[in-house]
Every structure is written in structure tokens, then in C-alpha cells.
Amino acid sequence: MSADRRIIVALDVAGAEQALALAGRLDPALCRVKVGKELFTRCGPGVVEALQRAGHEVFLDLKFHDIPNTVAGAVRAAAALGVWMVNVHALGGRRMMEAAREAAERAGGRRPLLTAVTVLTSMEAADLAEVGIGGSPAEAAMRLARLAQASGLDGVVCSPREAASLRRALGAGFLLVTPGVRPAGSGRGDQRRVATPAEAVRAGADHLVVGRPVTQADDPDRALRTIASEIADGGAG
């Protein structure tokens, strides 16, 4: 995989017009784009369809977490939209993830990649303890990633800090999608467990989700190309 195609740009903006204008400044051959909760809640499936008409492959990042039947229906709906990737939350458990996988497999047309969120990159050990999850974020991520793999999913969304240990444990064929990626010199924002693009890919990440360093740049396309160069220069391309 080229350094460029590893990158997923998070379109974490408030409306469809802004999302499409931003996506229009990005070359679809150099990245995919992510539609998350705020944009999808405001604009619905139409923004996904518009991005796809513009040539972009879409990662629908809604982190489905509900009873198995409900999540299966949501995955079927995402597949019908034609998205490239969709995710669930691994804390929904094995039966929920298996139902999601079966729904994706039975979808007509192109089957979307199905990944599971492990531990949010904003969370540290104290946050996990507060909600009754023992151990470190790395230990929780490993448990949930193993469960996702056993449930037949294509991969997980994890912090770049956990990527190396997950890659060793889960093998080369299991996708690791890493948010919390910040180019050298960038601020962390509300993320805690972060890494540079080169560090994330050297650790074993397949896809890197990058938001503000691209979307808030004066020239988003140039920022995207700079990140791709940082990956290549770090020996990870």
C-alpha cells in the first residue's frame, strides 16, 4: 500500500456544503474521507452519497453499539449506501459483532470493510476505571481486538500507541485503523494517546485517520501531501 492511500481525512465539520468544499480540495487518489457523527446527524445519507459521486471512498464512522439486531440493520443500511468502511464498538460484545459481520457479508453489491472501535484515543486508565474497566488502555484494547478478530471482523480502530502490540498478536491480515495521528509539531487537541504518521505506520497501522492537521490547514491538499511525505521519509512507505 502506498503512503498516500493509508490516509483517511476526517471531515469533522458541521454541514454538507463545508464537507463537500473541503473534500473538493483533496485528491481522491491520495486519501479516503471519514464521515462521523456530527456531519451524518446533521446531513444524513445524502452527504455520503454526494462525497461518493465526487469520487471519494467513505469511512462511515458511527461506532454502532446496540442490540445485535439493531446493529445488523444499521450495517445493512451502510452497505446499501456503498461505503468503503463502517465500524461498530467492540464493547457491544461478540453476538453484536457477529451479527454485524453477517449483515455485511449478506449485503448486495460491494461488501464494506467492518472494523470495531476498541478504546477511544481520548481515554486513559483513570477514565476506564471510572466506567468499571480494569487495566490499562493497552490491555483493554488487546482484549477487545482479540474479541473482534474472533467475531470475524476485518480489523479494529485503535490508538497508534497500541498498534505494535496488536500487530504482533493479531497478524498481518487484520486491519489496524489509527486515529490520534498528529504530524510532527502539531497539537494534541482532545486526544491523549497519539503518534506521528511515521510512528503509527512503523508500529503496524494500515490506515491513519487525520483530521484538523489537514482540514484546518490553509491548503488541505498540501497538508495531505506533507503527511504522506512524512510517512515515506520515516521509512514507512
pTM: 0.91
Q: Is 68 annotated as a binding residue?
A: yes
Q: Is 87 annotated as a binding residue?
A: no
Distance CA 208, CA 3 (A): 10
pLDDT tens-digit series, residues 174-199:
999 998 786 755 544 544 445 788 88
Domain that holds residue 196: 4-233
Average pLDDT over residues 128-143: 95
For the chain, percent of residues with pLDDT exceeding 70 = 92
Confidence at residue 185, expressed as pLDDT on a 0 to 100 scale: 54
Return the closest-CA partner of residue 59 out of 162, 212, 177, 232: 177
- Distance, in Å, from the CA atom of 134 to the CA atom of 118, rounded to the nearest integer, reads 14
* Total structural domains within the chain: 1
69 is known to lie in a ligand binding site: yes
CATH code for position 180: 3.20.20.70
Task: Give the active site residue among 4, 63, 154, 206.
Answer: 63
- The 3 state secondary structure assigned to 34-86 is EECHHHHHHHCHHHHHHHHHCCCCEEEEEEECCCHHHHHHHHHHHHHHCCCEE
pLDDT band at 236 (very low <50, low <70, confident <90, very high): very low
Residue range 149-176: average pLDDT? 95
Q: Encode 113-147: b = buried (16+ Cβ within 10 Å), e = exposed.
A: bbbbbbbbbebeeeebeeeebeeebbbbbbebbbb
Which residue among 61, 154, 190, 206 is the active-site one?
A: 61
pLDDT tens, position by position, 57-110: 999 999 999 999 999 999 999 999 999 999 999 999 999 999 999 999 998 778
Dmax (CA) for the chain in angstroms is 46
Say if residue 207 carries a ligand binding annotation.
no
In the residue annotation, 37 being an active-site residue is answered as: no
SS3 16: helix
